[in-house]
Chain A
């Protein structure tokens, strides 16, 4: 890690909100209360400005361009790979692959590693609380390779059954692919323990970190994780950019995921040799502008003491939980001891869509439905939940507005 001395910006949520232009707009005649951060975070003007500056002054296609603009854009793009490597404390920027999102990051591993290394009878372990993005790619690969998918059960509180997990692990387990923080419940899974147990069985671990990185810093080397997938747009960055961290030795052993430009070393009609890491996995012109703007998102996070951001979010979560628990008919879904950023609930048997519709009328943005976790909803025997998800730029006023909205919904609908 760099030895630079960092002076953090003092955490002042009202001042921070001024960096996010969209937070000052109205929806349906009310100030916007944005509590759909789990779906996508809003963007600070530093990120928006960076993207505009790139398109206004710096745009050119990158890599192999001899002219000034191309070289400058290449430098900016590759600097973000370096910055991402530092942010994650990865061993090398060759371990940082840019993709379209978490979904593509997981699909890359399922297609490249899965198809190349999985054999009939091998086993992959996921859990009941996975997003469809961490279920379907494995179902597809397992079906193709004759491998088996095993599922770790969870408790009603929304926590992994660790004893059941240990019983599922065996010499046939090749990979444990788990969500770090549940998008539907907010549960923070004990990933360090899971990685240690999996490694003892010589199984690899992939973590879906889409909901984790917006709420915490994650250190790849300290975790000793094999693959880590996440999306830029959930952590202040632009849409359409994902990251896959992969251990260098593993990525080296894996065949390319897609073929095309950029990923080749030499092409003849007889044989093509592939480029080195990370380019081997990045076919075609990449998402240059979004990647460069994502660099500004990482810089933005680094302006703050992460512990203060986390403490503020935990305060919001505790305050929201305590106030919402007073609302008539409220039933929380997922009550794990360790949670980040999410409160999921229903008002008795009222459809979450109805609650979301009333909240929308009041300018409150939440997500309703199954949150792309249908097996998890089946486990709870519900069609979906109302999910309020927080970011560090949310404040107590947002929580109060949510509580007022849910009280109103309860009064109208129950």
Chain B
């Protein structure tokens, strides 16, 4: 049995509690960004582009074995690191769970600012798009 969205969120929160300094936290996020495979060239298309003024985000979603599977990329590494966390929490979950999920981990690990609309980094739009896609996929599943 794989972990639920909330179980993974709690794991992430616990991991981030290890960091005393902001710099350690960001080094970890940057590491996550560097390790995220990103998107195949075939998916780096304009229709997968989530609009963001500062950094750009590409998102691809598909249904595999009844689960929503996400892959994403960004041209900014910190954004990409946060994407890695979002994928870890939301990917390979039943689409209806993704659609309903309450994402509390972002706030708890002190990255809430990154989700304010003024950041214009594409993350808010990305989460919205992940949910919309999940809703659409849940109709197919």
Give A358 to B27 CA distance when docked, in angstroms: 10
| A368 / chain B contacts, CB cutoff of 8 Å | 54
Choose among B22, B23, B53, B78 the residue that contacts A354 (Cβ–Cβ < 8 A). Answer: B78
Task: Tell me, in angstroms, the Cα distance from A383 to B56 when the chains sit together.
Answer: 10
How far, in angstroms, from A408 to B21 measured CA to CA in the complex? 14
Query: Which of A350, A353, A369, A412 sits near B27, CB closer than 8 Å?
Result: A412
Within 8 Å of chain B (Cβ to Cβ): is A202? no
Interface size class of B (residues with CB under 8 A): 10 to 19
Interface flags, A357-370, vs B, CB<8A=1, else 0: 11001000000110
Interfacial residues of chain A within 74-121, with CB under 8 A of chain B in the complex: none
Is there an interface contact between B30 and A353, defined as CB atoms closer than 8 Å?
Answer: no
Residue from A350, A351, A353, A412 whose CB has the most chain B CB atoms within 10 Å: A353
Q: Is A223 an interface residue (CB 8 A)?
A: no
**Which of chain A's residues has its CB closest to B53's CB?**
A369
- Which chain B residue shows the least CB distance to A357? B78
B46 smallest CB distance to A (angstroms): 16
Interface residue A397 (Cβ < 8 Å from any Cβ of B): no
Question: Which B residues are CB-close (under 8 A) to A6?
Answer: none
Contact between chains at B22 and A353 (CB < 8 Å)? no
Q: Which of A351, A408, A412 contacts B76 (CB 8 A)?
A: A351
A413 to B30, CA, bound (A): 7
Q: Verify A361–B121 contact, CB threshold 8 A.
A: no
Q: Does A28 have its Cβ within 8 Å of any Cβ on chain B?
A: yes
Judge whether A353 and B23 touch: CB under 8 Å.
no
Give chain A residues whose Cβ lies under 8 Å from the Cβ of B75. 351, 383
Judge if B55 is at the interface, Cβ distance under 8 Å.
yes
For B23, list chain A residues within 8 Å (CB): 361, 408, 412
Q: Are A361 and B22 in contact (CB under 8 A)?
A: yes
Which A residues between 105 and 145 are near B, CB-CB below 8 angstroms?
Answer: none
Contact B77 A351 (CB under 8 A): yes
Cα of A354 to Cα of B29 in the assembled complex, Å: 11
State how many angstroms separate the Cβ of B125 from the closest Cβ of chain A.
15
For window 327-375 of A, CB contacts with B under 8 Å fall at 350-351, 353-354, 357-358, 361, 368-369
**Interface size (A, Cβ < 8 Å)?**
15
A413-B77 contact given A353-B54, A368-B54, A369-B53, CB 8 Å threshold: yes
Residues of B contacting A412 with CB < 8 Å? 23, 26-27, 30
Q: Across the interface, which residues of B come within 8 angstroms of A351, CB to CB? A: 55, 75-77, 79
Task: State whether B79 touches A353 (Cβ < 8 A).
Answer: yes
With a cutoff of 8 Å between Cβ atoms, the chain A residues found around residue B55 in the complex are 351, 353
Q: Is the CB of B77 within 8 A of A350?
A: yes
Contact residues in B for A357 (Cβ distance below 8 Å): 26, 78
Q: How far is the CB of B78 from chain A (nearest CB, A)?
A: 5
- Which chain B residues lie closer than 8 Å to A353 at the CB level? 54-55, 76, 78-79, 121
Minimum CB–CB distance for B27 against chain A, Å? 6
Instruction: For the complex, give the distance between the alpha carbons of A28 and B26 in Å.
Output: 14
Q: Cβ of B27 and Cβ of A354 under 8 Å apart?
A: no
Instruction: Indicate if the CB atoms of A369 and B54 lie closer than 8 Å.
Output: yes
Which residues of chain A are near B78, meaning CB under 8 Å? 353-354, 357
Which residues B72-100 have CB closer than 8 A to chain A? 75-79
Whether the pair A358, B26 counts as a contact (CB closer than 8 A) is yes
Q: How far is the CA of A6 from the CA of B54 in the complex (A)?
A: 46
CA distance A353 to B79 in the complex (A): 9
- 1/0 per residue, CB under 8 A from A, across B1-33: the answer is 000000000000000000000110011001000
User: How many angstroms between the C-alpha atoms of A361 and B75 in the bound complex?
Assistant: 20
Name the 9 nearest CB pairs between A and B, nearest first.
Answer: A351-B76, A353-B76, A353-B54, A353-B55, A354-B78, A361-B22, A354-B76, A357-B78, A354-B77
A sample of 5 cross-chain residue pairs with beta-carbon separation below 8 angstroms, ordered by A number, consists of: A350-B77, A353-B54, A354-B79, A412-B23, A412-B30
